[in-house]
Structures are given as structure tokens and as C-alpha cells.
Structure 1
């Protein structure tokens, strides 16, 4: 597991270096990212995932951001808490970010985590899982900045959920790496989970279209329930649930050529 590997890595480094860790910034220098960051009036809140011993959290603090940083290695986090005390440090897994962080951050930074995961997973499942976590902890209109050594073909290849239906994306070449700046599109849609059989393909002020990969028989048994502004689409044989927070009550659901359409009227 990644957590075991990285804890062993940092524990060995501490032992070799007499109880200290050196700063490491792979992929790019932190200062090269500063021109790409969204500008916030006042103090924005940023989260760096898979931070390692990067100097980026401290650079963000110096730019006026309130910064949280996390890593899966307790040894790494304990060291960085001493080295960068103005940063809020947490030992956590990016695939399961704390529920208390939902709708918290203006910016999520991923400098070297998603890239390797995507290269190991050409179908893009890691991309979808991580972006779903990043989206959950962002405030409406928030940004995600992802840095990868090589272009992420998964952005184009993986259709579920369609990245472009949720994010506005720009690509920036850096020395030796590629940066992707993603901004959440407008609307109050908040996807809590992304089962492999459903993905958002369109969102308007009054309806949402879902691409649902089911057989005709499965479609007939698909269950839709609503509770206030929350719609839940459930596949009975697996109990998988696709939950969406909407700006309106769902009053109709029908199959179209695009998939399942939920409407306000």
C-alpha cells in the first residue's frame, strides 16, 4: 500500500539523516506555480495533497493563503509540522479526504500524486476518484491545480464522469512538467459519489442529464428517490447509489437519447 511505502521511505530517511528530512520538490519549483494560482480578495484557503516535504505550503502562506497540507506518512507530517508551523498539517489519504473538509477550500493542489496514479491506470479510474474527492472539498467556483511530468491522456480518454462537464480546464507547460488548472463549473450540483455506471453529461438551471451504463432490463428497475433537493439514483442489484444535491426539487425523470434526464418541471 502507498501509505506503508511512504512511511517506510520517510522513516528510513529520518534514520539516515539523523532525525531530519530534506526538502524535496519534484515536478517543478513551487515559485513556478505562483503565476497560475487564482487570485482571491482577502485570504483564500488552500489544500496541498500528497505534500511530502515540499516547500510549496510555506510559499502559499507567504502569499497570504491559509494552508492545509496532508500526506499519508505520519513521520513526514510530524517533521513538517515542526518545519512549517504556520501550515495546518494532517495525515490522511487523498482517496478518502476527511468529511469535515467538504466545501472548505478555494484551491486544491496536486503536485505529483495524480500523475503517477494516472500512468498506472490508463482507464482513468484513479483520475475520477481523486477528482471526485477534490471536487467535494472545494467551495463552489473553486480551483484544482494538478502538476504531472507527462500529459495526462486520461483527461481525454476517461468518459465517466466526463471531466469537461464538471470542470473548465486550461493546460500550462512548465519546465519539465505539465500543469492543469481546473475550475468548477457553475451550478449547485454536488456529486457525492460516482458509481462506474453513471456520469454527468450535461447540467442546466432546470435539468441534469446522466449517462447511465445499464441494460434495458436494468434501466426498468432503476430506482429514483428524492429528499428535498437531493436526488438518489440506485441500482437495486448492487445497492450502488448516485447522489446529487440540486438547486431544485426533481419533479420528473425520463429516459432520453442522452440517458436519464432529471428535471424541475
Structure 2
């Protein structure tokens, strides 16, 4: 989980009928999300992502996948596998992994801007490498600002590994992406509002191949085919396209261990 030091209208095809808000529905919400939340692993960190089937992406935080061309995903309905990082946005700490699996459920997302202080919420993910965990709390502040971005502040417990997981309301709708906590705070978590995710999905919908990134300087989205080397064609700032990231190369003891695993017939990319 990142610390404090880290940095309109929804598409119709993403909006689905939400669950009812009865106590019985809470277990249904958790059951559905358990099958749509994935664990993400890189050579440097682990985190959480959630699958949006109709969009064809796994959503997570940028800091979870930073510096990687592809990452390992695993989940209740998934075999452990590698998927490419398609889009990164360091300013909003948002990333998209291209992926499709019709077995996994479509999660409901709300396009309404009706989140209020006191609303009950659930935070779901894979903290500390656990397979799945859910915590509950309430919205404490709907207008906390950091780096020019408004976040939802809530008190559902977040721990390392929760980064990139969904924040869910009582109707079972995704309302935010859990992004960071206060370093010395007590259950003070912050989630990026889902409206920013929906806007991003509209902006990158023409991304059919390759990768793209949002320029940290001018905020424009740069696609691989329009980039001028490692520079933004709009403002000239240096950019890091995920599809152009260097492949991880282990050294020292890590390389020796991988060689042993390779000799035993294991795919070390998934280790």
C-alpha cells in the first residue's frame, strides 16, 4: 500500500444493476467480488486489481506495476499467468492491464456522484499476500485533496497489498480504487473516485494494441505509435511507456535460483 508520500458520465456498457442493500446481499457482494479480484505480483511488489469484463481490463494502481512490461496475475477463477501492462497514469496512480475472461463476473460501477460522508463501504484485496480479505468502514471525507486530486477518505482497514483494490458501496458498486494511506494514521485510507477511472476508459478506448501512458507534464495520453521515442509529442517531457519497459533481469542469488528452477522444468516468469 502506498503511503501519503506517494503520489461525468459513465459509459453505459459498464453500468450494471447493483445489489440490494439488505444484510443478505452483503455476502452476495463479497462472493461476487472474490471471483473478480486478482492478486498482482511483480519482481518488486505485490498488489490487488479488479476485473472489468466489459472494458477488457484489470484495474490497479500505477505504483503496483511501475517499471514492468508485464505482471503476474492470480485469482479464484484464474490460473497464474502473465498479462501485459497496457496503460499507466502516474499522476492519478492508475494502471490498466489488458485481459479478457468470460468466466469472471462483471462488476457494477456507479456513474453517479452521490457518495456521502457516513456511507458504509467495503475494501477488498490481497493484503500481505493473503488470498482474499474484506474490511468494512464508512466514508469520512469526500473532498480530501492531495496533488490536485480529490480522494474519498474512509476508515476501512488497508494494509500493504491492498493497493489497487476496489472500494465498494452498500449497493455492491465500485466507487473508488484504494490508493494510499497516511503513514502514521489509524485506519485512514484514501481511494481514487471511480469517475476518474471511467473518464480514462473513454480516453483509451481506441487502444487496441501496444501501450499508452498519461504524460505527467501536460496530462495528455500518449500512445505508443504517436510517441517520439521516450518523449511526449505534445510537450516534449520524458515519458515511460509500459510496453517499452526493460524486461526484468535477475542477478546474483536470484539468478542462480531461477537457473535451478528452470532446470527443474518450472516457468521462472511465474515464480
Give the TM-score taking structure 1 as reference length: 0.26
Q: Whose helix fraction is larger, Structure 1's or Structure 2's?
A: 1
Structure label with greater radius of gyration: 1
Higher relative contact order by CA 8 Å / sep ≥ 6: 1 or 2?
A: 2
Give the TM-score taking structure 2 as reference length: 0.26
